């Protein structure tokens, strides 16, 4: 039988498996990331394993540029793209309803439209619900009204993500978690070790064959900035309900100490990620999602930039408009979490949890 | 950088040896032009498919453990070449290898710990992170940063010599390029099937070429035609048994089939022809290329049963599988009754005993020819699986004779400004057999020497 008699299957998981089987016979890339050592430990490359490995892949592209078998070679290996397609298909399939995921993952325009709707909703809320009294932001929208809008807008999408994750966890054969799994996965996520090229030299994203840590650093700024902003909100909630300390908070209060640097990091990180993506080869990622990815990153940038602008404008006449802008962007961001690139963080962490030694 | 009318150093080839030469020459201040016959995506010759560098060292060095001294290294070389080597060049290569590893790291090459399944090499061979193509990429980046010019799809057709010296060379598109010195690092001739068939015989037309299709030996032929001295057996090539479904060229490492010790191997007619269990596979795989080449149609079939599953490295293509031997024979295109008869006779000759897949276990057949002297267990547990095997050519031995300064030897003594490195001269040192990672060592050592010498001559 000659190679022209070998039938290459078509679906994302089947195509990824075809490529992984070639990788497993080669193994030159073992030192780059966690995908390849995990591959060598498998006895069978079944659907669960392919999906799990795809979840671990951070699209650093080291393996692509080192590969002897990239097109036009007839083995046609493009593992970063093949695994990205598996991830993308999973995010869209596990979302409910799937229709929304397909729209927002693939269209920056749809994301922009959602943002406009979010903004309009907040302008309308500010106009309709203007309180008679209140301090700081609460002069424009009461604390009760904010909670009434944002609590469900945050928890419901999280619930949708949770449902998707449950299905994903079963699909990748996640099993029971041990504390050591959580520690290990948290370390990997926090350091983004899978973007460091295996030796700290970084990935092959915006410079092709040359290594660079720019993407890892931009992504770390984004993730840590986001987590700090989230922590700022959480701390503020605790202070409000637990200690009876209401906003506005001073510049050296915990919410501000977390939120301002967090917002700055998030701005820098998202701007960096967009700039790098412009220079990277789109052929090494999932197809058809570039616009949705840019749209999502731009939305995250908008959230952080309007937040910082709002803080900078404290006490000026620009506050109500900036408040509506910021809250509108946050509202759109929350509601889009299950249907945008935001879900990758949740699924990535699940895959890292399931990638046991 | 504008192009000079006469380059200091012109490097023919674009693999490991060529790039080491280019980097050394550029660091010595020379203007350097690299002529790579492949397009950019396939640049790097056979170095693309390599994975490690055999290195002498005293005490742990980078990823290497323990000590690998000159004498042990030399003994390893003597064992595989059976003396077919130039002792002076061999010792030079071995000694210089120790200084090369740090040099490689300083020029962008990254190493990783020994790959899974290759633990036996963690003392002697330093593995490249990502393999040979990553090494090639690192060297191109370093060369570019040093101002080296690179032309792709630039195949050299003729190197013009006058009064024992290089003057200019001509590309196949007619372009002439002049230089003060030239480094020939364009590999062997194994991708020229016609040449292989002339040297080996018509059977070579059924060989698969494991490496780049761009090593056609054009420059080697051109130099030999102009009286350069040769080394190495012109009729021989290094060939191993690989998956018969592999592409004709460039499939590299993945097409290896490591199940032979746990199989019976039959030819087109369903007959066994050699002891499958002579020794552990890494010590024997090199002889199977030749064995398969001697069979009708240059094809053989390794047959295993379900007991062998998981005992060998995964294969690039899934095996052909069937519930019965007859079904497998049909799927592989083998005569069913003959295969049945062979396997029955083999099974009847198997004896009870304990089976140890990783060491010679002495579990041998009795009363059949050829015997299987280790790992002989009956082929009786469905599903049955089979792989077709064909000879896969790794490299050729014929090359240019060089002196320790990497100078090519003409009919009347050394050519003044012509140097050679890599596979095009490796036959001087590796005249027979194969030693893992040694080709890269020869390429690195002689590439560096050639680059230094060429730059010194040119300036």
CATH number of residue A218's parent domain: 1.20.950
Question: Which of A20, A24, A26 is most worth mutating to test chain B (most B CB atoms within 10 A of its CB)?
Answer: A26
Question: Which residue's entry shows tokens 């931009």?
Answer: A218
| % of residues, chain A, pLDDT over 70 | 97
Direct distance between the N- and C-terminal alpha carbons of chain B, in angstroms, rounded to an integer: 19
Direct distance between the N- and C-terminal alpha carbons of chain A, in angstroms, rounded to an integer: 38
What's the ipTM? 0.93
Helix (H, G, I), strand (E, B) or coil at A212: strand
- Residue A139 belongs to what H/E stretch? none
- Locate A64 and state its tokens: 């692509």
Give buried/exposed letters for B269-303 (b at 16+ CB in 10 A, else e): ebbbebbbbbebbeebbbbbbebbbebeebbbbbb
Strands B125-128 and B111-112 come out as antiparallel
Same domain, A42 and A114: no
CB proximity list for A178: less than 8 A, separation 6 or greater: none
Mark the ranges of chain B whose per-residue pLDDT is less than 50: none
Q: Cβ of A28 and B253 within 8 Å?
A: yes
Q: B220 and B400 in contact (C-beta within 8 Å)?
A: yes
What total number of domains does chain A contain?
2
Tell me, what's the pLDDT at A247?
78
| A-B C-beta contacts closer than 8 Å | 101
Closest in B137, B254, B317 to A6, CB measured: B317
Question: Which residue's entry shows tokens 């229709």?
Answer: A99
Tell me, what's the pLDDT at A1?
37
Q: Cβ of A27 and B128 within 8 Å?
A: no
Q: A254 and A200 in contact (C-beta within 8 Å)?
A: no
Tell me, what's the pLDDT at A136?
81
Residue A5 has pLDDT above 70, yes or no: no
Same domain, A243 and A169: yes
Same domain, A237 and A176: yes
Tell me, what's the pLDDT at B2?
67
Domain final residue pick, A54, A75, A90: A90
Same domain, A68 and A171: no
Same domain, A296 and A344: yes
Q: How far is B105 from chain A (nearest CA, A)?
A: 13
Q: How far apart are alpha carbons A150 and B64 in whole angstroms?
A: 58
Query: What average pLDDT score do residues A44-53 get?
Result: 94
Tell me, what's the pLDDT at B69?
97
For chain A, list residues whose CB is within 8 angstroms of any CB belonging to chain B. Answer: 1-3, 5-6, 21-22, 24-32, 37, 40, 43, 62-63, 65-70, 72-75, 198-199, 201, 209-210
Q: Which of A5-19, A109-123, A223-237, B278-292 has the lowest mean pLDDT?
A: A5-19
Residue A172 has pLDDT above 70, yes or no: yes
39-58 of B, contacting A, C-beta below 8 A: 41, 48-49, 51
Residue A161 has pLDDT above 80, yes or no: yes
Q: How far apart are alpha carbons B163 and B345 in whole angstroms?
A: 68
Q: Cβ of A1 and B115 within 8 Å?
A: no
- Residue A138 belongs to what H/E stretch? none
Same domain, A188 and A277: yes
Tell me, what's the pLDDT at A139?
86
Query: What average pLDDT score do residues A329-350 get?
Result: 96
Q: How far apart are alpha carbons A36 and A64 in whole angstroms?
A: 13
As a whole number of Å, the CA-based R_g of chain B is 23
Strands B413-420 and B264-267 come out as unpaired
Q: Cβ of B49 and A68 within 8 Å?
A: yes
Q: Which residues of B touch A196 (CB under 8 A)?
A: none
Q: How far apart are alpha carbons B292 and B3 in whole angstroms?
A: 50
- Residue A45 belongs to what H/E stretch? none
Strands B384-396 and B320-322 come out as antiparallel
| % of residues, chain A, pLDDT over 90 | 84
**pLDDT band at residue A10, thresholds of 50, 70 and 90?**
low
Q: How far is A199 from chain B (nearest CA, A)?
A: 9
Determine whether domain B6-233+397-458 maps to CATH 3.50.50.60.
yes
Question: In terms of residue numbers, what domain contains A42?
Answer: 3-90
Same domain, A176 and A42: no
Residue in B437, B426, B390, B443 with CA at minimum distance from that of residue B189: B426
Q: Which residues of A touch B253 (CB under 8 A)?
A: 25-26, 28
| Interface membership of B253 toward A (CB under 8 Å) | yes
Q: What is the pLDDT of residues B299-347, one digit of tens each?
A: 999 999 999 998 998 899 999 999 999 999 999 999 999 999 999 999 9
List the domain boundaries for chain B.
6-233+397-458, 241-392
Residue in A347, A68, A33, A340 with CA at minimum distance from that of residue A216: A33
Domain final residue pick, A63, A90, A117: A90
Q: B418 and B182 in contact (C-beta within 8 Å)?
A: yes
Same domain, A56 and A197: no
Same domain, A271 and A138: yes
Closest in A27, A43, A73 to B250, CB measured: A73
Determine whether domain B241-392 maps to CATH 3.90.700.10.
yes
Q: How far is A46 from chain B (nearest CA, A)?
A: 14
Give buried/exposed letters for A105-125 (b at 16+ CB in 10 A, else e): bbbbebbbebbeebbebbbeb
Question: Which residue's entry shows tokens 């509108």?
Answer: A328
Question: Which residue's entry shows tokens 């980078």?
Answer: B62
| B252 to A26, B229, B240: CA distances (angstroms) | 9, 30, 12
Q: Cβ of A65 and B113 within 8 Å?
A: no
Q: What is the DSSP letter of A284?
A: G
Q: Which residues of B touch A32 (CB under 8 A)?
A: 129-130
Same domain, A24 and A148: no
Domain final residue pick, A73, A90, A107: A90
**pLDDT band at residue A232, thresholds of 50, 70 and 90?**
very high
Helix (H, G, I), strand (E, B) or coil at A173: coil
- Is pTM, for the whole model, over 0.90? yes
Quick one: how far is CA B370 from the chain centroid? 30
With CA atoms as reference, the chain A residue closest to B255 would be A25
What is the rounded (10 degree) CA torsion for B36, B42, B45, B49?
160
Q: What is the pLDDT of residues A249-269, one digit of tens each?
A: 888 999 999 999 999 999 999
Helix H, strand E, coil C: the string for chain B is: CCCCCEEEEEEECCCHHHHHHHHHHHHCCCCEEEECCCCHHHCCHHHHHCCEEECCECCCECCECCCECHHHHHHHHHHHHCCCCCHHHHHHHHHHHHHHHHHHHHCCCCEECCCCCCHHHCCCEEEECCCHHHHHHHHHHHHHHCCCEEECCCCEEEEEEECCEEEEEEECCCCEEEEEEEEECCCCCCCCHHHHHHHHCHHHHHCEECCCCCCCCHHHHHHHHCCCCEECCCCCEEEEEEECCCCCECCHHHHECCCHHHCEEEECCCCECCCCCCCCHHHHHHHHHHHHHCCHHHCEEEEECHHHCCCCCCCCCCCEEECCHHHHHHHHCCCHHHHHHHHHHHHHHCCCCCCCCCCCCCCCCCCCCCCCCCCCCCCCCCCEEEEEEEEEEEEECCEECECCCCEEEECCEEEEEEEECHHHCHHHCCCCCCCCCHHHHHHHHHHHHHHHHHHHHHC
Tell me, what's the pLDDT at B283?
77
Tell me, what's the pLDDT at A43?
84
Q: A76 and A55 in contact (C-beta within 8 Å)?
A: no
Q: What is the DSSP letter of A73?
A: S
As a whole number of Å, the CA-based R_g of chain A is 22
Helix (H, G, I), strand (E, B) or coil at A203: strand
Same domain, A22 and A131: no
Provide the β-strand partners of residue B127. Answer: B52, B112
Q: What is the pLDDT of residues A67-93, one digit of tens each?
A: 999 999 999 999 999 999 999 999 999
Helix (H, G, I), strand (E, B) or coil at A58: coil
Same domain, A65 and A183: no
């Amino acid at each position: 039988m000659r190679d022209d008699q070998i039938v290459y299957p078509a679906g994302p998981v089947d195509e990824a498996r075809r490529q992984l089987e070639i990788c497993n016979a080669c193994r030159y890339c073992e030192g780059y990331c966690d995908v390849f050592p995990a591959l060598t430990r498998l006895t069978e490359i079944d659907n669960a394993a392919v999906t799990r490995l795809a979840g671990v892949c951070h699209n650093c592209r080291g393996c692509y540029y080192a590969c002897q078998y990239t097109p036009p070679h007839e083995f046609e290996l493009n593992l970063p793209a093949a695994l990205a397609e598996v991830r993308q298909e999973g995010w869209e399939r596990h979302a409910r309803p799937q229709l929304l995921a397909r729209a927002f993952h693939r269209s920056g325009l749809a994301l922009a439209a959602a943002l406009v709707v979010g903004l309009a909703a907040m302008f309308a809320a500010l106009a309709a619900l203007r309180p008679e009294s209140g301090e700081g932001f609460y002069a424009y929208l009461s604390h009760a009204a904010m909670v009434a809008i944002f609590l469900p807008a945050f928890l419901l999408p999280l619930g949708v993500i949770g449902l998707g994750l449950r299905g994903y966890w079963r699909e990748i054969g996640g099993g029971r978690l041990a504390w050591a799994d959580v520690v290990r996965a948290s370390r990997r996520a926090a350091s983004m070790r899978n973007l460091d090229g295996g030796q700290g030299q970084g990935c092959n994203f915006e410079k092709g064959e040359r290594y660079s840590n720019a993407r890892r650093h931009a992504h770390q700024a984004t993730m840590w900035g986001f987590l700090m902003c989230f922590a700022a909100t959480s701390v503020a909630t605790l202070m409000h309900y637990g200690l009876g300390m209401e906003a506005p908070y001073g510049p050296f209060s915990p919410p501000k100490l977390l939120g301002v640097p967090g917002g700055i990091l998030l701005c820098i990180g998202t701007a960096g990620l967009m700039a790098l993506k412009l220079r990277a080869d789109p052929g090494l990622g999932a197809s058809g999602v570039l616009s949705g990815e840019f749209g999502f990153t731009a939305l995250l940038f908008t959230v952080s930039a309007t937040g910082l602008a709002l803080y900078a404008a404290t006490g000026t006449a620009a506050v109500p408009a900036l408040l509506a802008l910021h809250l509108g962007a946050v509202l759109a961001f929350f509601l889009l979490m299950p249907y945008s690139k935001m879900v990758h963080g949740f699924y990535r962490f699940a895959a890292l949890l399931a990638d046991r030694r | 950088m504008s192009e000079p009318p006469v380059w200091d150093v012109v490097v023919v080839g674009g693999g490991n040896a060529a790039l080491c030469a280019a980097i050394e020459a550029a660091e010595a201040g020379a203007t350097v032009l690299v002529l790579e016959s492949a397009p950019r995506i396939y640049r790097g010759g056979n170095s693309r498919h390599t994975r490690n560098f055999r290195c002498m060292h005293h005490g742990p060095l980078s990823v290497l453990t323990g000590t690998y001294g000159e004498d042990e290294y030399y003994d390893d070389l003597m064992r595989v070449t059976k003396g077919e080597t130039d002792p002076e060049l061999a010792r030079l290569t071995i000694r210089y290898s120790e200084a090369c590893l740090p040099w490689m790291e300083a020029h962008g090459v990254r190493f990783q710990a020994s790959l899974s399944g290759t633990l036996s090499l963690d003392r002697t061979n330093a593995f490249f992170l990502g393999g040979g193509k990553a090494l090639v990429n690192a060297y191109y980046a370093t060369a570019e940063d040093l101002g080296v010019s690179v032309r792709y799809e630039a195949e050299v057709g003729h190197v013009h010599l006058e009064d024992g010296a290089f003057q200019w060379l001509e590309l196949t598109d007619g372009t002439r390029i002049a230089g003060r010195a030239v480094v020939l690092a364009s590999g062997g001739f194994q991708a020229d099937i016609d040449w292989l068939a002339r040297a080996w015989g018509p059977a070579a037309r059924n060989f698969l070429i494991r490496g780049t299709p761009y090593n056609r030996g054009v420059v080697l032929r051109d130099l030999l035609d102009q009286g350069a001295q040769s080394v190495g057996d012109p009729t021989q090539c290094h060939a191993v048994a690989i998956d018969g479904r592999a592409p004709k060229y460039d499939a590299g490492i993945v097409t290896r089939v490591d199940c032979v010790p746990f199989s019976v191997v039959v030819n087109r007619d369903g007959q066994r022809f050699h002891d499958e269990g002579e020794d552990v596979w890494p010590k024997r795989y090199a002889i199977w290329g030749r064995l398969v080449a001697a069979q009708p149609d240059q094809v053989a079939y390794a047959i295993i049963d379900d007991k062998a599953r998981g005992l060998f490295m995964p294969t690039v293509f899934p095996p052909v599988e069937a519930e019965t031997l007859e079904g497998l024979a049909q799927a592989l295109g083998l005569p069913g009754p003959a295969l049945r008869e062979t396997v029955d006779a083999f099974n009847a000759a198997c004896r009870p005993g304990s089976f140890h897949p990783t060491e010679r276990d002495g579990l041998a057949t009795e009363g059949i020819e050829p015997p299987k002297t280790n790992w002989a267990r009956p082929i009786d547990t469905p599903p049955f699986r089979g792989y077709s095997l064909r000879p896969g050519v790794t490299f050729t031995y014929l090359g240019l004779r060089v002196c320790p300064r990497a100078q090519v030897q003409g009919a009347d003594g050394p050519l003044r400004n012509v140097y050679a490195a890599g596979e095009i001269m490796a036959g001087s040192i590796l005249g027979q057999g194969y030693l893992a990672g040694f080709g890269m060592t020869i390429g690195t050592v002689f590439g560096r020497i050639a680059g230094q010498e060429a730059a010194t001559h040119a300036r």
